[in-house]
Amino acid sequence: MKRVLSGIQPTADSFHLGNYLGAIRQWVALQDSHDAFYCVVDLHALTVDVDPKVLTERTLASVAQLIALGVDPNRCTIFVQSQVSAHNQLGWVMECLAGFGEASRMTQFKDKSQKAGADRTTVGLFTYPLLQAADIMLYGANLVPVGEDQRQHIELTRDLGQRFNTRYGETLVIPEAQIMKAGAKINDLQDPSAKMSKSAASQAGVIDILDEANVNIKKIKSAVTDMGKEIRFDEKEKPGISNLLTILSHLGGKSIPALEAEFAGSGYGDFKMAVANTVADYFAPVRTRTQQLLTERSELLAIIEAGAKKAEVVASDTLARVYANMGLLPRHR
């Protein structure tokens, strides 16, 4: 079986629709056909200032949401990054392989550091793609299911893996990004030119999957739409409507042409209401299940511990081969 790895940051109380449609939905689909490792990357969440108690709760809520969304600990390995120390250790190796110039070209860093300003931008934010490269290659992942925004980081991972193999001999598996054609980028409902993001300045255009139905219905009803009246998929002329069509198509299971036909002659109001109701119905059981898992805390912690143990076996084996091939002395067991 081919190996899959992907991760998500516990940087908010809830995942948003973009995280689900761009990434987690693929995680669920791949867990039966692949040997899948999915992690909550809490070390990456430290790249921005966060209250310790909040981080703990968000990490647990992230695992609970993954399970509620269909990531099944009996069919894949779910774990928390900081519990497997090999991530930091291979991360350092990646930092020593990467050039300052190539790390500086990462557009996510440029965007986020520009928003935060130089004084509030951490070195960790700069090096996070290198830790991400380690996250992936520790597990010998062939495939990394992610949203479009991660394409550049996976390219960097491939470059670093190839560089390592050239210098030190074939050691690391070179992964490929799996990015879906549709749904890979869900945009902000208030600014359809920007991706929906947990760290968006305003939450008005972000659909959190754990929010109550009425909150999301209100957000979708006030989504920015475009000139004209037609419900038509045209990302250039009608980015707002196209974004809503993408969401409705994925959650409702109908193709975009079928939806265009269904809503021909309808107004934006009716269309938005249909999107809002579909979103509310889709995520209502996820919300209930997440809350239930969070109340069964000891069971959730047991799942996390079991995941870390399974991850540790694979990760420490890769790290040992990397260290040996680089000439580092074997560690005492």
The number of CA neighbours under 13 Å toward the Cβ of 277 is 5
Q: Is 16 exposed, middle or buried (0-12, 13-18, 19+ CB in 10 A)?
A: buried
Any contact of residue 192 with ligand AQP (CB under 6 A)?
Answer: no
Q: DSSP string covering 129-144, please?
A: HHHHHHHHHTTT-SEE
Any contact of residue 18 with ligand AQP (CB under 6 A)?
Answer: yes
CA nearest to 81, candidates 120, 32, 131, 124:
131
To the query of whether residue 195 is one of the catalytic residues in this protein, the response is yes
CB 292 → ligand AQP: shortest distance, Å?
Answer: 23
Alpha carbon 65 to chain centroid, angstroms: 12
**Of the candidate residues 185, 219, 238, 272, the single one contacting ligand AQP (CB under 6 A):** 185
To the query of whether residue 198 is one of the catalytic residues in this protein, the response is yes
Two structure tokens written together for 2 = 């081919």
**Of the candidate residues 3, 4, 5, 22, the single one contacting ligand AQP (CB under 6 A):** 22
Q: How many residues bind ligand AQP (CB under 6 A)?
A: 21
DSSP helix/strand/coil, 195:
strand
To the query of whether residue 112 is one of the catalytic residues in this protein, the response is yes
Residues 6+ apart with CB under 8 A from 174: 158, 161, 162, 165
Q: Which segment (3-11, 79-87, 209-217, 273-281) binds ligand AQP by CB under 6 A?
A: 3-11
Query: Which CB, 224 or 324, lies closer to ligand AQP?
Result: 224
| CA–CA dist 189, 181 (Å, integer) | 20
Write the binding mask 140 to 159 for ligand AQP: x where contact by CB under 6 A, - elsewhere.
------xx-xx---------
> What is the dihedral sign for C-alpha 39, 40, 41, 42?
negative
**Of the candidate residues 3, 4, 5, 9, the single one contacting ligand AQP (CB under 6 A):** 9
Q: Are 234 and 262 contacting, i.e. CB atoms less than 8 angstroms apart?
A: no
CB 42 → ligand AQP: shortest distance, Å?
Answer: 11
Query: Which CB, 16 or 219, lies closer to ligand AQP?
Result: 16
Residues in the chain: 333
CA nearest to 7, candidates 123, 182, 146, 127:
146
CB 199 → ligand AQP: shortest distance, Å?
Answer: 3
CB 113 → ligand AQP: shortest distance, Å?
Answer: 12
CB 200 → ligand AQP: shortest distance, Å?
Answer: 7
Residue with nearest beta carbon to ligand AQP? 22
Any contact of residue 11 with ligand AQP (CB under 6 A)?
Answer: yes
| CA–CA dist 166, 163 (Å, integer) | 5
Q: Which segment (7-15, 96-104, 120-128, 165-173) binds ligand AQP by CB under 6 A?
A: 7-15
Query: Which CB, 18 or 129, lies closer to ligand AQP?
Result: 18
User: Among 112, 185, 238, 272, which one carries the catalytic annotation?
Assistant: 112
Is residue 215 within a helix (H) or strand (E), and if so which, with residue range?
Answer: helix 213-221
Active site residue ranges: 112, 195, 198
Query: Applying CB under 6 A, which residues contact ligand AQP?
Result: 8-9, 11, 16, 18-19, 21-23, 146-147, 149-150, 184-186, 195-199
